[in-house]
Amino acid sequence: MTLPHPRHRLALLLIDVNRSFFDPAGLHHYPEVGQVLTPLRSLLAAARRGGRLVVHAREAHRPGLADFEQGKLPRHSVIGERDCEPYPGFEERPGEVVIAKRRFSAFFATDLALLLREQEVTRVVVAGVKTNVCVRATVTDAFAHGFRPLVVREAVSSNRIHLHAASLEDMERYMAEVIDLDRAVALLVGEHGG
């Protein structure tokens, strides 16, 4: 039996870093999303260097089956299609976890909370897209499950700038700590506690 590693108490949770958003040909691409690629790369490198648990939460819908979300959104992120693939450079490595999510939150109807508890994770560094939708829903559920979410200001994005700002303000006020990239990197590599 493999026991949890103390360095896993802080985990990195990447939300929807896939071609749908980040590839210019993706169904949900928006130009501003490119601004978070460098911060996301820095976080992933820091988590790997620090031996942290890395979770890639990616939207993934089953082909040919009804999906509740399609009532509000067009067909997207279908398993087996290019749109659902991780954005190049963000493919999972051995030991990293992929959570396939069918709703906005990475916690809803997945085993993410169980996984994090089994690894004795207490805090999650959250980054990805979109701030006002999947990031916020995931942070809300992380908080509700008793984890301490840390949202990295430079590593979240939305095509709705006013909702991005409002969501950061609300998350900071009610359920998370919004931190800057340098602090997040230092935490992930273990320079300031673990």
CA-CA distance, 122 to 134, in Å (whole number)?
A: 20
Q: Please indicate whether residue 84 is annotated as part of the active site.
A: no
Cβ atoms within 10 A of the Cβ of 51, count? 16
The total of other beta-carbon atoms located within 10 Å of residue 80's CB is 10
- Specify the DSSP class assigned to residue 43: H
- Which listed residue (14, 133, 134, 187) is catalytic? 134
As a whole number of angstroms, the distance between CA 142 and CA 138 comes to: 6
Helix (H) or strand (E) holding 172: helix 161-174
| Cβ-count burial 25-39 (b if 16+ within 10 Å, e if not) | ebbbbbeebeebbeb
List Cβ<8 Å contacts ≥24 apart for 70-74.
Answer: 74/27
- The amino acid occupying position 34 is G
Both structure tokens of 80:
């087996």
Structure tokens at 142: 């992380």
What positions carry a catalytic annotation? 134
